[in-house]
Structure 1
């Protein structure tokens, strides 16, 4: 059993949308195919992966450093003790050979994309949905019903309050009970936008807001004083993700739930947030995204850190809107997952026919992560592999 090839291609997921910090007019991602010599149902087993939106494709790092290390490793060193499957932890160790500690950022994104593809291959070789494989390996009970919320509400040229309200209503009409919009560009305008959306939603859904790390301490405090007057689901990523003092200061004046973590890329960063960021395990949310932070192998370490700090994995709702986090949520008991109903296609979303009902989806019983159940996505993936 061996990995025969690791292929990468860069795909555009560009859009004219923007948050308070960046626009997505040149956004890309790396698509990965991990080709094995195993055959199931007459087809060679290929694992697929990609990185989440917001950090661009990592083709150079993948092709020059991380994929070659895996392909150069002794194939026997990459399989489990029984020799029946690849071992993602062994593959991860091969990728990270000769890498110094720290310096996460782009490196963590490249490794995370390959790691996703490895886990997809492992579950396919086992002939099981990844969420059930994870539950079996970690002593839990899989629950294929997962909470999801709709992320949108981006700044967009010419987008007025009517268009924003219509967008949010469309998510409610599709079954979502929590929706999210961007803030942080201008506090007065954001107050008008929030109030318009709250009027539109009424009692049909809850609203979360996301500043994407745009605010300094003075601005963040001003927003916190404004936002605490609204019944928000959460206030997300007010300031720089590594400014734990800012996050802790907000906890002193903002009584409602806060969320952060999508731009922290290691279990060490997660531990520092929980030590120094003033996060409250009874109400706040953690958004670490395995596809940006060295993959599921590292995410398992992050969950160990979460538990050691006295938090429940149910307080984790990952960023990214991809099917790997859905599988982790269903297999390891997370609190849910982000969803992009209209953006970053075909990489976001759910397998075809999956319905959002009362803010939840039910994962189908597909081997691997489930990419084969999404026709527009698997078509792109197989173009790379075959």
Structure 2
């Protein structure tokens, strides 16, 4: 049993949308196939992975560093003790050989992309869904029912508040009970009008979260907090720079309602510093670490260990990214849910075909691996890379 090839292609996921910080007109993602020599149901087992939106494709790092370290490793060194499957932790260690600590920027995305594909292959070799494989590994019961919320509300050329209301209404009509919109890309009074338009549209049928994408300094963050106090907001997300823990801690003095952050922290060390110094409150706030951007599930397991050390429940984790890998982690390890992009970043976002949102939740299908093959448009792209 061995990995015989790792293939990468950079794909566009561009869209003429923007948040408070960046536009997505040139956004890309890396699609990776980890090809093994294992045969299941007459086909070679191939694991697939890709990185989340907001960080660009990592083809250079994958091809120049991390791919070759795996392929040059002794095949038996990448297997579990029984020798009957790949060991993601050993594959991860091979990728990270000769890498200095710190500097968690782009390499964490490259490693996380390959790590996703490795876990997909592992579960396919086991012939079970990844979420059930994870639950079995950690001696817990899997819960296939996962909370999901609809992320959108981007700034878009010509998009008025009527179009914003229609977008949010469409999410409620599809079964979501929590929707999210961007703020900070317009003056405060304009954003207030946008928020009020959405709240008027959704009424008591749903809850609204808002996301500043790290745009604000402390003064602006406080000004928005004072405005948001007038409304029943699900959470106030990523107020300032993700590494400005002092700003985040200060915000807890001005805003009692739930806050969320973490999608741009890429290691368990960064997560630990957030909990040490960021003033986050385990009884109400949410953590959005995304395994696809932060060295993969192997590192995410270390992050969950850090949370436990600080008295946090994994149910306070609702990852960024809207991908099926985090859905499997949520179902297998008991996270609080997952982000969803109903209309954006296709075909990489969304759920397997036929999976519907009901009362803000989806039910995981029993598909081998992460379940990518259950989404026809995504499976076509993946198989084109592997075959």
Task: State the TM bucket, normalised to the shorter chain.
Answer: over 0.9
Q: How far, CA to CA, are the matches of 1:374 and 1:298 in structure 2? A: 27
Superposition pairs for residues 97-116 of structure 1, below 5 Å? Answer: 97-116=97-116
What secondary structure is seen at the aligned counterpart in 2 of 1:378? Answer: helix
Cα distance between partner residues in 2 of 1:303 and 1:226 = 33
**Stretches (4+) displaced over 2 A:** none
Q: Which residue is 1:13 aligned to?
A: 13
Separation in 2, partners of 1:57, 1:188 = 36
Pairs aligned (count): 386
Q: Does 1:93 align with 2:98?
A: no
Tell me whether 1:124 sits opposite 2:129 in the alignment.
no
Distance 2:356 2:41 in 1: 28
Gaps of 5+ in 1: none
d(CA) in 2 for partners of 1:201, 1:118: 41
1:1-386 counterparts in 2 under 5 A?
1-185=1-185, 186-386=187-387
Separation (CA, whole Å) in 2 of partners of 1:128 and 1:252: 46
Deviations 1:173-211 (Å, cap 9, x if unpaired)? 000000000001221110000000000010000000000
Q: How far did residue 228 of structure 1 move? A: 1.4
- Give the Cα–Cα distance (whole angstroms) in 2 for the partners of residues 132 and 258 of structure 1: 31
How far the C-alpha of 1:229 sits from its partner, in A, is 1.3
Q: Structure 2: how far apart are the matches of 1:268 and 1:190?
A: 34
Give the 3-state SS of the residue equivalent to 2:233 in structure 1. Answer: coil
Encode CA deviations 1:13-41: one digit per residue, 9 max, x unaligned. Answer: 00000000000000000000000000000
Q: Secondary structure at the match of 1:203?
A: helix
Query: In structure 1, the residue corresponding to 2:318 is in which secondary structure?
Result: coil
Deviation at 1:346, TM superposition (A): 0.1
Between the aligned partners of 2:93 and 2:229, the Cα distance in structure 1 is: 45
- Displacement, 1:8? 0.1
1:226-284 per-position Cα deviation (integer Å, ceiling 9, x unaligned)? 11111000000000000000000000110100000000000000000000000000000
> Which 10-residue stretch deviates more, 165-174 or 225-234?
225-234
CA distance in 1, matches of 2:322, 2:379: 17
Shift of 1:370: 0.2
> What are the superposed Cα offsets for residues 66-112 of structure 1, whole Å, 9 maximum, x if unpaired?
00000000000000010000000000000000000000010000000
SS at match of 2:5: strand
Q: Let me know the Cα RMSD of the aligned residues.
A: 0.4
The CA distance in 2 between the partners of 1:292 and 1:281, in whole Å, is 23
Partner Cα distance (2:367, 2:37) in 1:
21
Query: In 1, Cα distance between the equivalents of 2:303 and 2:65?
Result: 24
Once residues 98 and 189 of structure 1 are traced to their aligned partners in structure 2, the CA distance between those partners, rounded to angstroms, is: 50
In structure 1, distance between residues paired with 2:135 and 2:46: 22
